[in-house]
Amino acid sequence: MSFGFSIGFGNNFTSRVAEKEQEVNKYQTEVQNFQGDYNNAQNEKSVFDGQKSTADSNVNSTEQQLADAQNSVNDANQALAQAQNIPIETKTNKDGSKTQDSSKRDEAIRNAQTLLATAQAEVDKAIAENTKAKDEAEKIQKQIDDAQKKLDELKGKQDEAQTNLDNAKTDLESAKAEEQKAQEEQAKQAEEKEKAEKNNEDNKDNIFGINKLNPFSLDTNEEISFSNFWGDNKFLSKRLEEKDNVTEDEFKDIAESAKVILNQDSYSEKEVKDVENKLNGITQMSFNLDNEDVKKYSELAKDLKEYSETHKDETANEIKDEVLEIFTEINKNNGVSDATINAVKQSFKEIGVSETEGDNRGEMEKYGGNPGDAWCASFVSWLYGESQGTDNNDTFGYDIAVRYLREDAEKAGYYSTKDYEPVAGDIMIQENNASHTGMVIKTDANYIYTIEGNAGNKVRAKKYSKDGESVNKISGYIRMNDWKGSSNKPINIDYLPDDKYEDADKDLEQSTL
């Protein structure tokens, strides 16, 4: 049906695409700048490495000179010892007397002492030169260490910028896809409106007059023909088709009653109320559901999801709330704990919360933890704790690290490996290569659907193909339904369209490019 209004998707999504393109350009520039700085620092370190090689050679050379000088000292000491052992000669004079002659020994000693002094001076010189060479080598080594530290810091910044770039590219692709979908929806709405206007003009049997009784009409001045209302309003017609006790003839009878009242010059409040009650009786959902009804309403939830994503207004939010209330009532009647139901419902409301003030800082600090620290574990702790006004001490309390979540669950006996089939409310644990966690929303034959904090710097909805690579990152699950005392497993009903869950396999592919 035509809803009698136009939504300005185009400009909103176009501006978002432009914003994401600016982010991509910004992070590309950062990556390039950091790469240039890294190359300059690498060249600087290479110069220091060359200087260090020369300095090491000087150290080796002066150490050899010192060793040679010390050998010379040893030789001089040995010569001195030998000179001191030269015997004193005894000479016989002409008159027959005898005298002692030490001139040869004294001369040898003087020569040895001169040689020793020279050798000792060479040792002192060699020690000074060796000390200087070592000091120079140590100075250059410090420059090398500082250069390496700078390289490590630049590499860290470059990796961070690359991660930001990868996330920005993912966001850009998502924005482009949303823009394309919005443009297609605009064209579809325009076509449907034109068709509805033609039907209204041609069809004399208008059932609602000024359409007071149509609960899905967003424009009370819009007139809708019965054929158009029945053919295009898939939301209402879906409900009618799923009610075994309401036929099309019965619906026509109600519509005719409405037409009669609305065409009267005057009518009583009771007459109007009677028609409204009849109409509401076949359009309002009942929560007294068996398994077959749940399957039917799961299909209806998909229709409502599409509607709520297409119409960004208060009516859409009311429909979202209505679907989540279905989730609440069905699961509560099925024995699922309030804590599990509330955690799942709250997780949807957190989608988009991000690091508005830099790395791990900003509006996401409401989840607790320390500013600047990773916050995925804080997010699931908050969902089961503070967001519900409780300390959650009956399970794991409040944990800021994935490891603590897993250890607490293991001690309590509520941790299962990745072979376990999770259900809504369970907590996914990743400890393969990197630690991460998130809330399981639902599963089907092909995917595991989650909502995760600190997923690319914000709260995101993601899905993991059971046959894909990304599922291998999952190491296990915390069985929160069992831990919280649910008597049955939750039934999957949510309002978020499946294509709004970001594909974890695509994220993995982009991160390895």
3 state SS for 75-141: HHHHHHHHHHCCCCEEEECCCCCEEEECHHHHHHHHHHHHHHHHHHHHHHHHHHHHHHHHHHHHHHH
The phi, psi pair for 181, rounded to 5°, reads -65, -40
Residues 477-499 as b/e (b if ≥16 CB within 10 A, e otherwise) read: bbbbbbbbebeebbbbbbbbeee
Q: What is the pLDDT of residue 367?
A: 94
Q: Which of 282, 326, 320, 307 is nearest to 218 (CA)?
A: 307
Instruction: Give the model's pLDDT for residue 214.
Output: 34
Going by C-alpha positions, the residue among 384, 385, 367, 389 that lies closest to residue 376 is 367
Phi, psi of 88, rounded to the nearest 5 degrees: -80, 130
Q: What is the pLDDT of residues 456-492, one digit of tens each?
A: 899 999 999 999 888 999 999 999 999 999 988 887 7
Helices (H), 366-414: 376-384, 402-412
The pLDDT value recorded for residue 230 is 30
- Write the DSSP symbol of residue 87: P
pTM of the entire predicted model:
0.44
> Is 112 within 8 Å of 79 (Cβ atoms)?
yes
Cβ distance 449 to 347 under 8 Å?
A: no
Q: Which pLDDT does position 83 carry in this prediction? A: 80
Q: Do 9-89+102-200 and 346-511 show the same overall fold?
A: no
Coil, strand or helix at 211: coil
Residues lower than pLDDT 70 in the chain: 1-14, 196-320, 322, 433, 493-495, 508-513
Query: Nearest-CA neighbor of 421 among 454, 379, 464?
Result: 464
Residue 348 CB partners (closer than 8 Å, separation 6+): 320, 324, 451, 494, 495, 496
For domain 9-89+102-200, the CATH architecture is: Orthogonal Bundle (1.10)
DSSP string, 243-269: -TT--HHHHHHHHHHHHHHHHSS---H
CA angle (102 as vertex; 96, 105 as ends), nearest 5: 150
Residue 232 is which amino acid?
Answer: D
Per DSSP, the chain holds a count of helices (H) and strands (E) of 13, 9
Q: What percent of the chain has pLDDT over 90?
A: 29
**Topology annotation, domain 346-511:** endopeptidase fold (from Nostoc punctiforme) (3.90.1720)
Tokens 């007294």 correspond to what residue?
288
The answer to whether 410 and 422 have CB atoms below 8 angstroms apart is no
CB atoms within 10 A of CB 258: 24
Q: Name the CA radius of gyration of the chain, rounded.
A: 43
User: Could you read off the pLDDT of 59-81 as tens digits, one per residue?
Assistant: 899 889 989 988 988 998 998 88
Residue bearing tokens 């939504």? 7
Domain ranges of the chain: 9-89+102-200, 203-284, 346-511
d(CA 172, CA 18) in angstroms, rounded, equals 9
Q: What is the pLDDT of residue 397?
A: 92
